[in-house]
Structure 1
Amino acid sequence: MVSRVVFGRGSFNQLSEIIAPKRLNVNAPFIYLVDDVFKGNTWLISRISLAYDDQLIFISVDEEPKTSQVDELVEQIILSHIDRPSGVIGIGGGTILDLAKAVSIMLTNPGESKNYQGWDLVKTPAIYHVGVPTISGTGAEVSRTTVLTGPERKLGINSDYTPFDQVILDPELTKGVPKDQWFYTGMDCYIHCVESLNGTFLNAFSKSYGEKAYDLCVEIFVDGNYTQEEMQDKLMMASWHGGMSIAYSQVGVAHALSYGLGYLLGTKHGVGNCIVFDHLEEFYPEGVALFKKMKDIHGIKIPQGICSQLEDYQFDIMIDVALGLEPLWENALGKNWKQTATREKLRSIYAKM
């Protein structure tokens, strides 16, 4: 679990004070990985206090994070500084937060990041790392995984050393998020809850967090009788609780299939989840029905036909990626999941998208 968290409007202003005691020496910088949408945004950037050899790196989030990108960032940081950094601070959405977690791990572990895709493969603790989400829904700020697209698969570095040491939850930072992105990322949270609450791994811990996150999603995306500030606060808490729910259980069919889309087509995670979930009535009938209602309420048009021109070998690639996520399938369908999740079944679902 994340050991320290601060919540509140304006809490981003506490960042410098929070990290100051963690500086190892004047040659050990803090590395800020920041979504490049904030490039030139003085409202946010002016509040980052760089000192000594600190480095601010703007990163495009047009594509999902890749293992090669992690390795390039680690090499860049090592070659640019005398000492190992004091810490890594990620400021952005799920892509930036996942990159920050992965970079902090790879600064202390040898080899390439692709070798750590999987469960509990990391042996050495990461350097100090801080997460500051600027959009809510992914749960990346609280999860023990960092989802990366590698040369052979899309799979997270899932370990006890992955979670942030400190998270700053400032709902003010989520203002100005485009409506479609707000919806897709919020639905990532909602789908987390549906998959967790309907999974075979469900326990009292994950259920308590999942139920709260689910209720908050309904308040936000169905009821909607709140001010913009209240909606921002609620979605940030829904994201946190949804992430906590899957930390002690697991996601399911939608995420497994979405990883296949992401690996082959580069489909952004939140969009991919929505594309997949729209066709999963067989597995989550009540959840999908409410999702369709939310989609109609907010006038969201889910992309259609993205798999219509794919060849057989491309379907096979997506199916291989999806079936490789065995814990997700076991959570969704139980220990005998292979009897239901056949290659034919997955092909038929992908063909609808």
Structure 2
Amino acid sequence: MVPRVVFGKGSFNQLGQILSPERKNGAPFIYLIDNVFENNKTFIEDRIHLSGNDRLVYISTKEEPKTSQVDELVSEFRNAYSFTPSGIIGIGGGSIMDLAKAVAIMMNNTGSATEYQGWDLVDNKAVYHVGIPTISGTGAEVSRTTVLTGPEKKLGINSDFTPFDQVILDPELIKEVPKDQWFYTGMDCYIHCIESLNGTYLNAFSQSYGEKAYDLCEEIFLENTLDKEEADAKLMMASWHGGMSIAYSQVGVAHAMSYGLAYVLGTKHGIGNCIVFDKLGDYYPEGVALFKKMKEVHNIELPTGVCANATEDQLDIMASVALGLVPLWENALGKNWQEKINADTLKAIYRTL
């Protein structure tokens, strides 16, 4: 679990105070920031108190994080400094959260990030790392995984060293998120709840978090009675609780298939989950029905024809990537999941997207 959390409107302004005790012998803090803020520096940059050789690195999130991107950043930082940074600070959405976690891990581990895609493969503790989400829903701020696309697969670095040492949850930071993105990322949280609460890995711990996140999602996306400030604060809490729920259980069919979609077509995680989940009524009938109501309430039209031009080879790869995520299928369908799902079934669903 993340050991330290600060929550509340304006809490981002405490960043300098929070980081100060963690500075090691003049070693820099490296800030990885979503480049959406590059032209609005007063919102983020002017509130960061840089010291010494601290560094700001703006990161494009047009594509999801790649193992090659992690390797390049780690190599760059190692060449730039003769000592390990005091810490890695991620400021942005789920992609930046994952990138910050991965870079922090690889600063203290050898080889390529591809070698650590899987479960409990990390040998050494990550350098101190802080997550500051500027969009809510992915749960990346709390999870023990950092999802990366590698040359052969899309799979997280799942380890006890992955979670952030400190998270700052400031609802002010998500107030300018465009509505569609707000919805898609929020639905990532909702889908976490559905897949966790309906999974075979469910336990009392994950259930308590999942049920709270589910209730918050209903209030935010279905009742639609909250003002924006209240909704943003509650969405941050929903994201946190949803992330905690899957940290102690697992996700399921939608996430597995979304990974395949992202690996082949580059579809972003939040919208990819929505596109897939919309077609999974046979697996999550009540959850999908409620999802469709939420779309209607917020006037959301999902993209269609996403796989219309996908070749048979591409569909094969999508199915292969999805089926390679064994824990997700065990959670969704049980230990005998291979008797219930196969590549042909997945390809048939992909063709409907």
Normalising by structure 2, report the TM-score. Answer: 0.99
Mapped to 2, the partners of 1:99 and 1:343 lie a distance apart of 30
2:208 maps to amino acid: S
Give the match for residue 30 of structure 1: 29
Give the match for residue 310 of structure 2: 310
Give the match for residue 174 of structure 1: 174
Give the match for residue 273 of structure 2: 273
2:70 maps to amino acid: V
Bigger Cα displacement from structure 2, 250-259 vs 76-85: 76-85
2:32 is the counterpart of 1:16: no
Mapped to 1, the partners of 2:39 and 2:308 lie a distance apart of 40
Alpha-carbon distance, 1:81 to partner: 1.4
Give the match for residue 132 of structure 2: 132
Mapped to 2, the partners of 1:311 and 1:12 lie a distance apart of 46
The runs of 5 or more residues in structure 1 that have no matched partner are: none
Give the match for residue 163 of structure 1: 163
SS in 2 for 1:46: helix
Mapping 1:1-353, distance limit 5 Å: 1-26=1-26, 28-41=27-40, 42-353=42-353
SS in 2 for 1:50: coil
Alpha-carbon distance, 1:66 to partner: 0.4
2:322 maps to amino acid: A
2:315 maps to amino acid: F
The count of corresponding residues between Structure 1 and Structure 2 is: 352
Alpha-carbon distance, 1:92 to partner: 0.3
Deviations 1:252-307 (A, max 9, x none): 00000000000000000001000000100000000000000101111111111111
Alpha-carbon distance, 1:344 to partner: 1.3
2:67 maps to amino acid: T
Alpha-carbon distance, 1:43 to partner: 2.4
1:87 maps to amino acid: G
Mapped to 1, the partners of 2:45 and 2:15 lie a distance apart of 12
Mapped to 1, the partners of 2:312 and 2:223 lie a distance apart of 43
Alpha-carbon distance, 1:40 to partner: 2.9
Mapped to 1, the partners of 2:302 and 2:224 lie a distance apart of 21
SS in 2 for 1:43: coil
Mapped to 1, the partners of 2:268 and 2:344 lie a distance apart of 25
2:297 maps to amino acid: I
1:259 maps to amino acid: Y
Mapped to 2, the partners of 1:92 and 1:35 lie a distance apart of 5
The runs of 5 or more residues in structure 2 that have no matched partner are: none
Mapped to 2, the partners of 1:339 and 1:229 lie a distance apart of 47
SS in 1 for 2:43: helix
SS in 2 for 1:88: strand
Mapped to 2, the partners of 1:182 and 1:274 lie a distance apart of 12
SS in 1 for 2:32: strand
Normalising by structure 1, report the TM-score. Answer: 0.99
Bigger Cα displacement from structure 2, 72-81 vs 234-243: 72-81
Mapped to 2, the partners of 1:226 and 1:335 lie a distance apart of 41
Mapped to 1, the partners of 2:35 and 2:164 lie a distance apart of 21
Deviations 1:80-129 (A, max 9, x none): 11211010000000000000000000000000001100000001000000
